[in-house]
Amino acid sequence: MPLPKAELHLHIEGTLEPELAFALAERNGVELPYADTEQLRRAYAFEDLQSFLNLYYELMAVLRTEQDFEDLANAYLERAAAQGVRHAEIFFDPQAHIARGVGMGTVVEGLWRALGRSEENHGVSTQLIMCFLRDESADSALETLEAAKPYLDRIVGVGLDSAEVGHPPVKFREVYEAAAALGLRRVAHAGEEGPPEYITEALDVLGVERVDHGLRCMEDPALVERLVRERVPLTLCPLSNVRLRAVDVLAEHPLPAMLDAGLLCTVNSDDPAYFGGYAGDNFDAVRSSLGLSEERLRELARNSFLASFLEHDEERRARYVAEVEAYEFS
């Protein structure tokens, strides 16, 4: 039995495996520029962020109907459950779908068809977080929030993702204020490839409660001290960091130093179909490459539940944490 954990940094579009991409392409009559799943799988061996993003957006063309989004989410939840995920807070990128004519309702209702039944079907509780693409305009983000208003009973919070450098958090001040006024929780990618100042800005200007990645906080000791003092969770994605060259090799990942510094770190999969593994694979990788002790792994799992947005159900959180404490490593 795998270590129980919550997944807090997972883009549902990044869970599209080649087999499902081909199945959906066939169902929807979409032509993919790959001969078969093997050739597509080889294309997943991209070299950098831009070639990843190109493939990522190209493959989204196969997602057209509610059924497609339901199938995508169910495929992820099944894999996540098998790797010990008990609770998942799932990102989605509405702008990437709206731009190609697939409406907010199709995306949210389709995902919800899987998420709403996830506990009975997969034993995984879920929340949905809507992300704004930071390389799109601030106005586009505001329009997206407006389009989401009929679906806010399905959405727990907002996030900020895609290409970071050149798109500082302050660009999205207005939409985050509007989201806060609607009672939405706030997170943002910051300090992955962007500088530590973006992390500070995400906290001070956007009011985020959790920082996605946040790796580069380690360049600023005063910031580390603040993140520790304020107990700000960081959602790290070790295998993603290697694939996108935020670190050269996993053995050099700063996770052990971050834990030693007292940071509230969690381990997540980001875009698992593309980055070489799901949540449990990331735990296995840091265990073997970084030599983390069982108590450190338990701490990471405990942190994932402490950092999750389960304030509406503290009983559930306590139950999950108790599962972590009782877990026996094999």
Binding residues (CB under 5 A) for Zn ion: these are 270
Closer Cβ to Zn ion, 136 or 270, answer by number: 270
Per-residue tokens: 46:
């991209």
CA–CA distance, 176 with 159 (Å, rounded to integer) = 9
Closer Cβ to Zn ion, 188 or 258, answer by number: 188
Count other Cβ atoms within 10 Å, centred on residue 229. Answer: 9
Per-residue tokens: 140:
């586009």
State the minimum distance, in angstroms, from the CB of residue 147 to Zn ion: 22
Closer Cβ to Zn ion, 89 or 270, answer by number: 270
State the minimum distance, in angstroms, from the CB of residue 235 to Zn ion: 8
State the minimum distance, in angstroms, from the CB of residue 210 to Zn ion: 12
Q: What are phi and psi of 215, to 5 degrees?
A: -50, -40
Residue nearest to Zn ion (CB): 270
Closer Cβ to Zn ion, 32 or 233, answer by number: 233
Q: Distance between terminal CA atoms of the chain?
A: 9
State the minimum distance, in angstroms, from the CB of residue 229 to Zn ion: 25
Closer Cβ to Zn ion, 68 or 270, answer by number: 270
205 to each of 121, 167, 186, how far by Cα in Å?
39, 14, 11
Cα angle for residues 118, 148, 178 (degrees, 5° grid): 120
Closest alpha carbon to 167 in 146, 188, 150, 144: 188
Closest alpha carbon to 133 in 189, 179, 194, 78: 189
State the minimum distance, in angstroms, from the CB of residue 325 to Zn ion: 29
Q: What is the CA radius of gyration of the chain?
A: 19
Residues annotated catalytic, as ranges? 192
